[in-house]
Amino acid sequence: MFGGNVAEVSARSFGTASSAAVRPSRASANSNIALVKYWGKRHDAPAHLNLPAVGSLSVTLDGLSTTTEVHPADADAFLLNGAAVDAKHSSAVKVFRHLDLIWRTAHQSQQRPPCRVESTNHFPTAAGLASSASGFAALTVAAASAFGADASTDRLSRIAREGSGSAMRSLWGGFVRLHKGTATDGSDCRAEQIFPASHWDIRVIVVHCAVGSKTVGSREGMERSRITSPYFAQWVDTSEADLSGAAEAIAERNIDKLGEIVEHSSCKMHACMLASRPPLLYWNDTTVRVMHELWRLRREANLRGFATSDAGPHVKVVCEASSADALAEALRKVPGVHGTQILSIGPDPTCALLS
């Protein structure tokens, strides 16, 4: 399966059960952006399963990726973008815990051998964009290869979820839908590719509205909204309609229909965040200026771009390929914008066995 020295393979052809040695492996996975958002976790299931309260629908992004290598080592080590991370730091602890989980999938109760994990984010410098989706997807695929885990892409996606909910969607390229499921053991919470990237040539323009990272992490923010926001129940109740509407719009390649749902889902999530106690306000003044300019461009120049944003101030604009250049140029001029980046829809993860 991984013939030769370095065999580039798709993650879905991945997996043979093997001996308990660690085989040096490298995987790359792309980040994704939710067109229909996930915010909030289920509280009727064990917390470690990290089960979402709502489904979500995303596109995988070309050009925002993480490459991760897993090697045998004398002691556990984690290097991020070339720099060693203290083994006690929370990010390293999460990485090693994730390795344990994947090792148990491959070898049940045997003790996991120590590993060196080298992870590199290929993201625009200081963009403040979330890398947890590509990071946990790449780590899951690389470790599963390194440990010889005999796991399907579906299984890998469920494992990635325990690191980060959005990582579950980065196991596929193209358009991906995550079904939240209802079983308390998480067995029916799964993601799937609903269309490959070739289905529809759309773009996502990342409009950088700040430098630096977000203030309240998504895990903490989600819990705050679930516990305190009076809108959380409505957010959950109305999500399935957005999901089926968006899937339909993508099937029809209808940008206006999709765009309306994209903006609604994002604004509804931010309204739910804002109604939390204390309030969660991830937008800054530039975010709001960009949205007003985008809406003006739609009204006055018929440029069909639609805004979505996550737990941070950046705006991501969903549009057809033909309007991307004009939209990016106009939005770059909004005061406070640090730059724009036009991204295509990205492919499946890749994995290589190194020897």
Strands (E), 3-125: 7-10, 25-36, 56-72, 77-80, 83-85, 115-122
Any idea which residue has 């705050």 for tokens? 224
Relative to beta strand 7-10, strand 350-353 is antiparallel
Q: Pick the closer one to ligand PMV by CB: 312 or 347.
A: 312
Does 56 engage in binding with ligand PMV (CB under 6 A)?
A: yes
Does 195 engage in binding with ligand PMV (CB under 6 A)?
A: no
Structure tokens at 39: 């915010």
Structure tokens at 124: 């625009």
Among 15, 148, 165, 173, indicate the residue that binds ligand PMV (CB under 6 A): 165
Does 287 engage in binding with ligand PMV (CB under 6 A)?
A: no
Q: Which stretch binds ligand PMV (CB under 6 A): 37-45, 198-206, 313-321, 338-346?
A: 37-45
Q: Which stretch binds ligand PMV (CB under 6 A): 163-171, 230-238, 290-298, 339-347?
A: 163-171
The DSSP symbol for 181 reads -
Does 350 engage in binding with ligand PMV (CB under 6 A)?
A: no
Any idea which residue has 């250049």 for tokens? 325
Does 38 engage in binding with ligand PMV (CB under 6 A)?
A: yes
Contact 216, 222 (CB under 8 A): no
Does 308 engage in binding with ligand PMV (CB under 6 A)?
A: no
Does 66 engage in binding with ligand PMV (CB under 6 A)?
A: no
Alpha carbon 312 to chain centroid, angstroms: 14
* Distance of alpha carbon 2 from alpha carbon 145, whole angstroms: 9
Q: Which stretch binds ligand PMV (CB under 6 A): 73-81, 139-147, 162-170, 234-242?
A: 162-170
Binding mask 213-242 for ligand PMV (x = CB under 6 A): -----xx-----------------------
Contact 72, 21 (CB under 8 A): yes
Among 276, 310, 315, 347, indicate the residue that binds ligand PMV (CB under 6 A): 310
Half-sphere exposure of 298 (CA within 13 A, CB side): 18
Binding to ligand PMV (CB under 6 A): which residues in 73-132?
A: 130, 132
Contact 280, 225 (CB under 8 A): yes
Say if residue 230 is preceded by a cis peptide, omega within 30 of 0: no
Give helix 153-163 / helix 132-147 axis angle, nearest 10°. Answer: 130
CB of 71 to ligand PMV, least distance (A): 26
Does 164 engage in binding with ligand PMV (CB under 6 A)?
A: yes
Task: Express the helix, strand and coil content of the chain in percent, nearest 5 each.
Answer: 40, 25, 35
CB of 21 to ligand PMV, least distance (A): 32
Does 39 engage in binding with ligand PMV (CB under 6 A)?
A: yes
Among 11, 22, 29, 34, indicate the residue that binds ligand PMV (CB under 6 A): 34
Q: Which stretch binds ligand PMV (CB under 6 A): 6-14, 31-39, 291-299, 333-341?
A: 31-39
Task: List interacting residues with ligand PMV (CB under 6 A).
Answer: 34, 37-39, 56, 130, 132, 164-166, 218-219, 310-311
